[in-house]
Amino acid sequence: MLEDEQNLIARAKGGEAEAFGSLYDYYMPRIYRFILIKVSYREEAEDLTHQTFLKAWERIEQFTFQGYPFSSWLYRIARNTVIDHHRKVRPQQVDIDYVPQELLASESSPEDEMESRMEWEKLLSAIGGLKDIEQDVLIMRFVDEMTHKEIAGIVKKSEGAVKVVQHRALKKLREVIEK
Amino acid sequence: MNERELIKKLRALEAIKPDAGYVRNSRYLITQGGMAEQSIRQGIFSRGLSFAFSVALTSVFLIAVTIGGMTGYFKTLFLPSFQGVSNEALLTEANEITDDINIHLDDVEYFSNSVALAENGSSKQPTDTQDKGEEEIDNLLDEVISY
């Protein structure tokens, strides 16, 4: 959680753009990553991330602290934005050329890079084939390292239900990758 | 791939980062663009209003031109009028033409009657001659019988 977050939120609610800018700086990389893993394409992810923060800025007055960090509220907006987007545009198959470059940074030879690309393309495609709730739980739990309680607050399920979803999602993912 | 390896792979996705240029632009548009966006919305509204007004004004003008044009066209079609020509003069000329036509018709009737009379006269002459010839033949036959 961001230091002095409550104060920043209060100032942002008062219309102070720079306070919202600080919240943006802290949470934007996480929200962007969450969206990119779900949609697979950088341009789409950039557009949807922008929409997410624009909505958050427009609706900041509606935010009330209910025991969950500000990030939970942002993730909820991001989830709904992606769901709305997928209602209009069907999720696309992951293209090997669209594997994020930062995942390949450590690869040396072109052969190694190609092999790495294929592995990531397989994993991202497998994630894309999961249900929305399964994708969300896996990304929040293992990529963003959130607690089950935080995830439960975002997806509006009990902690036990989140653990069950996580278990099922990991099992499905392994099955798809091992095919 | 076992579960631990899979989780490790998922954690490696943390390396994904947004483009710095995109972050700068997006942040600027959101935090500084609020007022600009409002102005843009107001601009769009006022532009929309002025566009609607222009369309309404143009429509009224076109309707006026259309009505005027149609009226002129039908007036010309049904009530021809020429500049420099009075209706009274035209009426007088038309009456004179009608009188001329009547005179010519009278002449035609007169000549028709004359021709009919002439034809009747010429058709009666051969009949009188024929009657005289027959009378002479009768007299001659009577003389022959008396002998």
Residues A106 and A101: their CA atoms lie apart, in Å, by 10
Q: Percent of chain B having pLDDT more than 70?
A: 70
pLDDT at B39 over 50: no
- B45 CA to chain A: closest CA distance, Å? 20
Within an 8 Å CB–CB cutoff, is residue A105 touching chain B? yes
Q: Inform me whether the pLDDT recorded for B36 exceeds 70.
A: no
Amino acid at B64: A
Task: List the single residue in A18, A46, A53 with the smallest CB-CB distance to B22.
Answer: A46
CB contacts, 8 Å: A174 with chain B: 1-3, 6
Residue whose pair of structure tokens reads 């802290």 in the numeric block? A26
H or E segment and range at residue A179: none
CB contact (8 A) between residue A17 and residue B32: yes
Q: Among A24-38, A132-146, B86-100, which is the least confidently predicted range?
A: B86-100
Closest CA to A79 of A40, A43, A50, A38: A38
Task: Kindly give, in sequence order, each residue whose CB lies less than 8 Å from that of residue A57, ignoring residues fewer than 6 positions away.
Answer: A12, A20, B30, B31, B34
Q: Which of A139, A142, A113, A117 is nearest to A127 (CA)?
A: A139
Q: Which pLDDT does position B77 carry in this prediction?
A: 64
Q: How would residue A26 be classed by pLDDT, with cut points 50, 70 and 90? A: very high
Q: By 3-state DSSP, what share of chain A in percent is helix, strand and coil, each rounded to 5?
A: 75, 0, 25
Probe site for chain B from A26, A27, A28, A41 (most B CB atoms < 10 A): A28
> CA-to-CA distance for A83 and A51, rounded, in angstroms?
13
Q: Return the sign of the alpha-carbon dihedral for residues A165, A169, A170, A175.
A: positive
Are A131 and A102 in contact by the 8 Å Cβ rule? The answer is no
Mean pLDDT of B8-32: 92
**Which secondary structure element, helix H or strand E, spans residue A33, and what is its range?**
helix A17-39
Complex ipTM tops 0.90: no
pLDDT at B124: 53
What is the residue-wise DSSP string for chain B?
--HHHHHHHHHHGGG----HHHHHHHHHHHHTHHHHHHHHHHHHHHHHHHHHHHHHHHHHHHHHHHHHHHHHHHHHHHS---TT--HHHHHHHHHHHHHHHHHHHHHHHHHHHHHHHHHHHHHHHHHHHHHHHHHHHHHHHHHHHH-
Determine the length of chain A.
Answer: 179
Do the chains contact at B23 and A28, CB–CB below 8 Å?
Answer: yes
Residue predicted with more confidence, A71 or B48: A71
Residue pLDDT, tens place only, A101-152: 777 766 578 888 888 888 888 899 999 999 999 999 999 999 999 999 999 9
Q: Do the beta carbons of residue A159 and residue A152 sit within 8 Å?
A: yes
Q: Any chain B CB within 8 A of the CB of A49?
A: yes
Q: Which token pair is A178?
A: 């091992």
Q: How confident is the model at residue A157 (pLDDT cuts 50, 70, 90)?
A: very high
Task: Say whether pLDDT at B9 is over 50.
Answer: yes
**Average pLDDT for residues B34-38, to the nearest whole number?**
50
pLDDT of residue A57: 96
What's the mean pLDDT in A19-39? 94
Of the pLDDT bands very low, low, confident and very high (cuts 50, 70, 90), residue B62 is confident
Q: At what angle do helices A17-39 and B20-31 cross, to 10 degrees?
A: 130
Question: At residue A89, does pLDDT exceed 50?
Answer: yes
B13–A contact, CB cutoff 8 A = yes
Lowest mean pLDDT across A58-62, B56-60, B119-123: B119-123
Using the predicted structure, report yes or no on whether residue A79 has a pLDDT greater than 90. Answer: yes
In sequence order, the 6+-apart residues with CB closer than 8 A to the CB of A6 are A65
